[in-house]
Amino acid sequence: MLNFFYKLFKLLIIFSAVITGWTSIILLSNTTFNLEIKDLMAKMYLNQKNFIFNVKDLSLLLVKDANERFSERDQRNFRINQAKNK
| Spatial CB neighbours of 37, under 8 Å, sequence gap ≥ 6 | 23, 26, 27
On whether both 73 and 43 belong to a single domain, the answer is yes
What pLDDT digit, counting tens, does each position of 5-50 carry? 999 999 999 999 999 999 898 888 988 888 999 999 999 889 988 9
On whether both 24 and 57 belong to a single domain, the answer is no
On whether both 44 and 23 belong to a single domain, the answer is no
Number of domains in the chain: 2
Q: Would you say the pTM of this structure is higher than 0.75?
A: no
On whether both 67 and 40 belong to a single domain, the answer is yes
- The boundaries of the domain holding residue 39 are 32-86
What pLDDT digit, counting tens, does each position of 38-57 carry? 999 999 889 988 988 888 88
On whether both 82 and 72 belong to a single domain, the answer is yes
On whether both 44 and 18 belong to a single domain, the answer is no
